[in-house]
Amino acid sequence: MRIISGTAGGIPIQVPKTLLRPTADRVREAVFSMLGDRTEGAAVLDLFAGSGSYGLECLSRGAASCVFVESDRAAGPVIAANLKKASLTGGSVAHAPVESWLKAKSGRFDLIFADPPFAKQKSDRDWDALLLGSAELAPLLAPEGLFVLESFAKSAHPPPPGSSWSCAVERRYGDVVIRLFSLSAPDTDAPAPGPADL
């Protein structure tokens, strides 16, 4: 694996030995092609960071900051080593389960990435449902921001009814589906309910 472009383009990325499914270079390249110049000056959140490949790519492409959230203790030192090797600043690592971190944090991010473990069996945790239904995640995204979710194509599903998420882009790469979500704008043009509507 490597950082694809930017100031650290071409630099290899160290991957934690415990990481079973790093995002392929071609998939990341496609994601950042879709994002265009959105990384420039962005505040980034990289959930289930693993090696930190998404956040590292953002920092290399001009992001102002990135918070890497990862529960695996082996990953933190690897992300820190990758940041140092690539001479990238603005990155900080939070060692915590994603769901716990989300409940404790506030702020706004222009780009949020999530590459959770895939739900391939019925007994696997359905992170798509948990993230898209999370009351804590949506408030962290800036109004014009994007949430990039990497999922197992066979188990990917839409946001729950009444969700504030709107899928802007969906692309499939083999067994992987990448979706870019934005926050649905409130319907300010809808008329106030009258007596007959109550």
Q: pLDDT per residue over 120-145, tens digit each?
A: 777 777 888 899 999 999 999 999 99
Residue 72, amino acid: D
| CATH label of the domain that carries residue 95 | 3.40.50.150
Q: Provide the pLDDT confidence category of residue 114 given band limits of 50, 70 and 90.
A: very high
Could you tell me if residue 20 is inside a domain? no
Please give the pLDDT value at position 189.
Answer: 45
Could you tell me if residue 59 is inside a domain? yes
Give residues with Cβ within 8 angstroms of 156, minimum separation 6.
128, 177, 179
Q: pTM (2 decimals)?
A: 0.89
d(CA 198, CA 63): 48
- Long-range (24+ apart) CB contacts under 8 A made by 99-103 are 99/130, 99/134, 101/47, 101/69, 102/134, 102/136, 102/137, 102/140, 103/136
* Structural domain that includes position 86: 27-184
Domain count, the chain: 1
Q: What is the pLDDT of residues 172-188, one digit of tens each?
A: 999 899 999 999 865 44
Could you tell me if residue 194 is inside a domain? no
Residue 44: pLDDT over 90:
yes
Residue 190: pLDDT over 50:
no
Could you tell me if residue 164 is inside a domain? yes
Could you tell me if residue 1 is inside a domain? no
Grouping H, G, I as helix, E, B as strand and the rest as coil, residue 7 is coil
Least reliable range by pLDDT among 20-24, 26-30, 71-75, 112-116? 20-24
Could you tell me if residue 5 is inside a domain? no
Could you tell me if residue 13 is inside a domain? no
Could you tell me if residue 189 is inside a domain? no
Q: Which segment, 59-63, 75-79, 150-154, is predicted with the most confidence on average?
A: 59-63
